[in-house]
Each structure stands twice: as structure tokens, then as C-alpha cells.
A and B are shown apart, each in its own frame.
Chain A
Amino acid sequence: MDLPDLPVRTIVATPARAGRRVGRLLRMLAAGCLTAVLLGAVPLANWAASDDRLAELSSVQQVTTALKNATESLGLAEPYVWIRRQARALQHLRFGPPEDQQ
């Protein structure tokens, strides 16, 4: 039951000077944190509060209502439930949960 020879064992490993390694690590961390802070501070459009959202929600609503009517007229309730869940999941993914669920 020998363990497989995994690539993680053979990853490039070179003789190192500890000071150099920690110095590089610190510089990398500084650059990473600075990037995250700068990008996090960029004012991106708030989709959830924009008019586009209302428009899109409205169109999603129209489509799902039309599908609901169509499927119910065929006597099919289940596919509507599925479609409605897809629409909600789509809205949730794009805009986050509705305010009453936050």
C-alpha cells in the first residue's frame, strides 16, 4: 500500500536562504494586500440599486408569468415551479437576495 508519487512531492524546490524567502514573501503579501485594498475601494456600479435592475426584474417577471400561464394552460404545474426557481436563482446570483431576506 505504498503512497502514490504525487506531483506535490516533486515540485520545484531549490536551496534557499531563509532571509531571502521571508523578504520575498513579505513583498508579495504587501503587493497582494495593496491590490485588494485598491480594487476594493473602486466605486463599482451598484446593480441592485440601479434602474436597470428594475427593468431586468420586470422582464424576468414578464417572461416567468408568460411561462406560468403557458404551462398551466397545458395542465403542467411542475415545470413552472422549476422555471420560477431558475428565475429566482438567476436573480439571486445577479443581484443578491431580496431585501426582505437580508
Chain B
Amino acid sequence: MLFPTTAFLIFFVAVTIGLATLQRSYEAQKIWLVAASYFFYAQWNWRFCFLLAFSSTVTYIAGLALERVRTQRSRKRVVAATVTVHLLTLGFFKYFDFFVESGNGLLRALGVPEALPFIEVILPVGISFFTFHGISYVVDVYRGDVAVCRRLTDMLLYLAFFPQLVAGPIVRAAKFLPQLYRRPERDFGLAWPLALIVGGLFKKVVMANFLATGLVDPIFDDPIHYGTPDLLLGIYGYAVQIYCDFSAYTDIAIGIAALLGFEFPPNFNQPYRASSLRDFWRRWHISLSSWLRDYLYKPLGGSRGGALFTARNLMVTMLLGGIWHGAAWKFVFWGVLHGLGLGVERILFGRGHAEPRGWAKGVSTIVVFHFVCFGWLFFRADSFDTAWLYLQMMAQGSPSLVQATPFTIGLIVLGMALQFAPPDMHRRVAAWVLAWPEWALGAASGTLVLAIDAVGPDGVAPFIYFQF
């Protein structure tokens, strides 16, 4: 069930009616939200609801165990065991085939005929996200950053809450669980969440979908038939597509959660205006990069040692961040590329270097954007070989331009313009309509959604980050 569909609208209306019916009891509302979230998840594959329930239960029990055990050694064992269970589950579903395939390749190279058994494992949607939720909760309880969750319902809802279930943002337990202990006290109004949702729908249905079908997919499917300008625009197009696709999902998720009274953390902050790679990772998929920082980079030692020690930690963090995205060598390369970039930046400019100003900032922004685009080429290509072929075709310098149209180029320009628009654009839009009555906001949103649907191409492609 995708956000930009009538099925989701019906689902959301049903959820809201249920909440209105149960508004006397917050506990009943939470149980209703758990049931709704599991129904939402079951639309992909109902069998994986058991996996989600298993992850939630393990996390819940680990929290209770951490409260009961006294010695530091036992507490560490509880954390290690829980993290191991989560990582093994993730590893099996996400990486089993990759390791078997890579192992078989190695065996063949060594002349060993025996092949490792190959099972076609189906990847449960959102497994990377709910696994990271579980790990962050257990580690935070261990560190004393969050109180132990005593109700299983709260834990089930924390891992399964439908707006963030399949593609984030990764919401920290310390931020979300307190919202479950007491009925949300804050009202975000209707205008700001609606601005996020309608804006997100436009970015996904119109911008990302048209760029995918009209430019990016044909070029990446068959790069051998295109000249340098098309191939270059294909990469720029993908940079804008993935931004519009993923930021749209999180905007809609944040908006839906806000309509229900919950606060999610921000996940994007105009990433292509970054003037350094460090700055880029503070703006792109913020909930993942801050998760990796707090649960991987800092435990490894962070920047407490010299420049080389920091560069090593950055490399390990980004390598694992790359592998988190998928079981393929292209993601390994993508992670290593960013790790190298961050490491070199750290060695050249030192810790906490000042932001460039004036023309230097402009040049840095352009260089960083192209570095990121180079990474996206490997991220998007079907395989490492395809990415390499893409680069070879670009180097041939054929001047033909057959795939890009003024319309798709216009979408790329619009996508880049969004990076330099006022950062509080949604709030400004919301301010215009803040005083409107709810029926007027509903009518305006209904009209806009219908218009977006009419303008967009037929069908809705799944969000890119669903595969992770």
C-alpha cells in the first residue's frame, strides 16, 4: 500500500475514524494504531508480520532484562545478544544470497566445484528500518538515555507505526516512546502537515516519476545507446529523482504522523547545497547518518584520535552504511567512495574546518554535488559493470542528445532550485492558510491531489527506499 494511492487514503480515513471512536482511552487508540500498522504491513506480505512482532518482542524483553540484571557485564551481554539477534535476522534476509553468490564466485575462482546452497530469500519491506529502531532502543536503555518501555503495546507501535515503518525516518526511542507514554500534547495544526503531504506528493508523483520514466530508467537500462550529454543528464536526473522520491516519502510520513499528533525528526535539509561531504551527510537522510554516527562512528572512537584514526572510523562507518543499503558490490563501492571522500576531507581540512565563503563556497558546492552524483551512478546502476560501462560511454564523447527533453531538463532545474529555496518553505506555505477552516483546507488539498494525479504519469512506482 503506497502513500500516493486511493487505497492508502481509505486506510487513513478508517484509521482516523477509529481514533475518533476510541478517543476516551489513549491505550485503546494505541492498540488500534498497532492493529492498523500491522494491517498496513500485511499488504506487502502478511507472513512478515510475525517477523516484525518477533523483533519487537525481542527488543521489549531485552529492555526489561536490562532493568533487572545488576552487573555491568550482564548488561553488556544482554545488549550483545539482542544486537546479535537483530543483525542475524537482518543478515539472513538481506545478505544471505549475496554471501552465497560471492562465496560461490570465490570457490569457482579457486577451482572448487562445490557450490554453496542457494535459497531465494524474499526481503521483508522495511526490515533495515525496524531493525535499526530495535538496536537503538536497546543501546539507549543500556546507556541510560531512555527509560525502559513497560508496555508491549508501546514497543509494538514504536517498531511498527505505519508512517515510518517501511522507509523511515529512523525515529529514536528517546524521541518517540515518551509520545506514547502520554497522549500527544502538541498540535501541529492541519496546514503544515498538509503542506508537507501535498508537496511530497508533487515531488514523488510528478517530479520523481517523470524523471524515472522519461529520462533515468531508459538511459540506465541501456547506456550503450546514448551520447555524453544524455548520460550526464541521466546522472543529474537520478540525483534529483532520488532526492524527490526519498524526501517525498519522509515529508509525507512526517506530515501523516503530525496529523495524528506525533512528531518525527527531520530527514532532509536541502542536501545538494552542501559545501562539503561532511555537510552533505548532515543534510541527507539525517536520521540514518545520525544513527550511524551515534551507534557506530562514536563507539569506534569517532574523532577522538588523530586525523588518520578518524579517517579509518569514517571509512568503516560509511562502508557499513553502504552495505546497509543493499547486498551488492556497487553499494560497497558507494560506501567506500563516501568514506574515502570524508576521510580525505578530514585529513586535508582538519576537524571542524570553517565553512567556505563567497566564490569558494560556490565552487565547493559544485565539486561536492558532482562527487555525490558520481556516487549515485554506482548506486543506481544495475551492477558495478553497468556503472563502469556507463562511464566508458560518457568518456567516448558522442554529442547526441536523444532522450532528454526540455520537460525533463526543466524538472532537473526545478529539483536543483528546491535546494536553494527558503529552507522553511513548508512553514511559509502553511502560514498563508493557517486561518482557513478545516473544510477549506480539505477542499484545497483534495483539488491539489487530484491535479497532481492528473498531471503525473500513469501508475505509481514504488519508493526507491522500499528496497532497503
Contact = CB atoms under 8 A, between A and B. Distances in A.
Interface of A: 1, 3-4, 6-9, 11-16, 18-19, 21-36, 39-40, 78, 81-82, 85-86, 89, 93, 96
B406 A18 contact: no
Contact of A18 (B183, B439, B449): B183
Interface residues of B, number: 60
Interface string B9-37: 10011001101100100100000000000
Contacts of B443: 31-32, 34-35
Contacts of B406: 86
12 contacts: A12-B188, A13-B263, A14-B187, A18-B183, A19-B20, A23-B20, A29-B13, A30-B442, A32-B443, A32-B445, A33-B13, A81-B400
A24 B399 CA distance: 57
Contacts of B403: 85
A28 B186 contact: no
Given A3-B266, A29-B12, 11 more contacts: A9-B266, A14-B187, A16-B184, A16-B261, A18-B23, A23-B20, A27-B442, A31-B440, A32-B443, A35-B442, A85-B405
B187 A16 contact: yes
Nearest to B431: A12
A36 B450 CA distance: 6
Nearest to B26: A18
Interface of B: 9, 12-13, 16-17, 19-20, 23, 26, 183-190, 192, 194, 214, 254, 259-261, 263, 265-266, 269, 278, 282-283, 286, 290, 293, 399-403, 405-407, 423-424, 426-427, 430, 434, 438-443, 445-447, 449-450, 458
A31 B458 CA distance: 25
A39 B438 CA distance: 19
Contacts of B445: 28, 32
B282 A81 contact: no
A57 to B, nearest CB: 18
B214 A89 contact: yes
User: What is the interface of chain B mostly: helix, strand, loop, or mixed?
Assistant: helix
A75 B119 CA distance: 56
B184 A34 contact: no
B187 A13 contact: yes
Nearest to A93: B407
Nearest to B194: A28
Given A26-B17, A28-B439, A93-B407, A11 B192 contact: yes
B445 to A, nearest CB: 5
Nearest to B196: A8
User: What is the interface of chain A mostly: helix, strand, loop, or mixed?
Assistant: helix
Contact of A25 (B16, B282, B290): B16
Given A3-B282, A3-B286, A31 B20 contact: no
CB-CB nearest 4 A-B residue pairs = A31-B442, A16-B187, A35-B446, A7-B424
Contacts of B184: 16, 18
Contacts of B12: 29
Contacts of A29: 12-13, 16, 442
A68 to B, nearest CB: 15
Given A16-B184, A81-B402, A4 B192 contact: no
B261 A18 contact: yes
A39 B450 contact: yes
A9 B186 CA distance: 12
B402 A21 contact: no
Contacts of B399: 78
A86 B405 contact: yes
A101 to B, nearest CB: 11
Contacts of A9: 266
Contacts of A13: 186-188, 263
Contacts of A89: 214, 405, 407
Contacts of B446: 31-36, 39
A85 B403 CA distance: 7
Nearest to B436: A28
Nearest to B405: A89
Given A33-B13, A82-B401, A89-B405, A27 B269 contact: no
B186 A1 contact: no
Contacts of B265: 3
Contact of B192 (A12, A19, A26): A12
Chain A CB count within 10 A is highest, among B16, B283, B293, for B16
Given A21-B261, A28-B441, A39 B447 contact: yes
A84 to B, nearest CB: 9
Nearest to A4: B269
Contacts of B439: 27-28, 30-31
Contacts of B20: 19, 22-23, 26
Chain A CB count within 10 A is highest, among B26, B254, B401, for B401
B407 A6 contact: no
Given A21-B187, A36-B449, A86-B405, A11 B261 contact: no
Contacts of A93: 407
Chain B CB count within 10 A is highest, among A3, A11, A26, for A11
